[in-house]
Amino acid sequence: MEIVQTRSALLSNYEVFSLLKEQENERKQQVQHKHPENLLTIEFEVVQFLEGTPSGTQTPEQLADFLESIKDFGLTKAEKLQILNLRPRSAVEIHLLIEECEERFSQERLEELINLVAEKLPRDDDEEVEADENSDQMEE
């Protein structure tokens, strides 16, 4: 395997996950081809990791819909990619992902972005987090 062009494209976790699953299915159909064991191990571990992240449940439609809804935020490709991969829930998490966030966005605009993430990119653990937050509020 040879790298033809470095950094020719940025891939989201979902795209990597889909590609690896596709390659795995193709490999299962090939009976005689021998693949390097270390490559198979790495691919297996990456797939196992990504299945436990939000990218394991994303769909292409969700990604396209989300990217369309955040067009007017003026985010860079890298910022969009990080938001897709990490699905931030709070302003603090957004500040970690967006460069010069305070200068670029008002607090209301950040809340709008957080709400878009929650609406367009739901996470499997959203219900657990809400339950934890509610129990914390009850204790206070």
Give the number of domains in the chain. Answer: 2
Give the integer Cα–Cα distance in Å for 60 and 74: 22
Q: 100: domain CATH number?
A: 1.20.1250.40
Reading the chain (140 residues) residue by residue, the pLDDT tens digits are 566 666 677 888 888 898 899 988 888 777 666 778 888 899 999 999 998 888 888 888 999 999 999 999 999 999 999 999 999 999 999 999 999 999 999 999 999 999 999 999 887 665 554 545 555 555 55
Do residues 47 and 95 share a domain? Answer: no
Asked whether residue 135 is assigned to any structural domain, the reply reads no
Give the model's pLDDT for residue 3. 62
Give the residue numbers spanning the domain of 38: 13-52
Give the model's pLDDT for residue 90. 93
Asked whether residue 3 is assigned to any structural domain, the reply reads no
Asked whether residue 131 is assigned to any structural domain, the reply reads no
Asked whether residue 139 is assigned to any structural domain, the reply reads no
Give the model's pLDDT for residue 117. 93
Asked whether residue 133 is assigned to any structural domain, the reply reads no
